[in-house]
Amino acid sequence: MDLICVEPVEAPHFTIRVRQHQLSVDYSHSDGGKDRGPSPTEMLVGSLGTCIGMTVARYCQTVGCSTEGLEICLTFELPDTGARRIKTIIVDVDLPEGFPPNRVSALARVVRDCPIHNTLTSPPQIDIEFSTG
């Protein structure tokens, strides 16, 4: 797997680097940032959306259907209690025009098997190690 590095630009603005790509992550103005990129929470939800989208697109190729008109829109809810986690993610998938209706249930099974969905439903162990200068 490729190394992913995260470095501050001007906290809370960070840059994620992976291979030759750079992504900006920041908080919105209302959350104390300068809105120079999506928040970490939005990136996580967006990762789920892109994983679903790529899975649907691959399935469309398999069944010979265009991806034109495919759109995945997501929202998320945080708990009312102030817990620091996402409570619910709502995913709306607009399938391309002409997608075969008899393939929707099969597509749903395939989408539920995307790596990000699987990770969110069965979280990985996370080991954090600190080092000093």
pLDDT tens, residue by residue, 10-26: 999 999 999 999 999 99
- Preceding amide of 96 cis, omega within 30: no
Q: Which DSSP letter does residue 29 get? A: G
Q: What's the pLDDT tens digit per position in 57-81?
A: 999 999 999 999 999 999 999 998 8
Parse the chain into domains and list their residue ranges.
1-38, 39-123
Look at the pTM and tell me if it is higher than 0.85: yes
- Torsion, Cα 38 60 2 24, to 10 degrees, reads -10
Which residues does 44 contact at the CB level (< 8 Å), separation at least 6?
86
| Both tokens assigned to 25 | 């992550």
Task: Name the residue with tokens 């098997």.
Answer: 113
Q: 23: which strand partners?
A: 16
CB distance 91 to 49 below 8 Å: yes
Q: What is the CATH number of domain 39-123?
A: 3.30.300.20
pLDDT of amino acid 54: 97
CB distance 61 to 55 below 8 Å: no
pLDDT of amino acid 116: 97
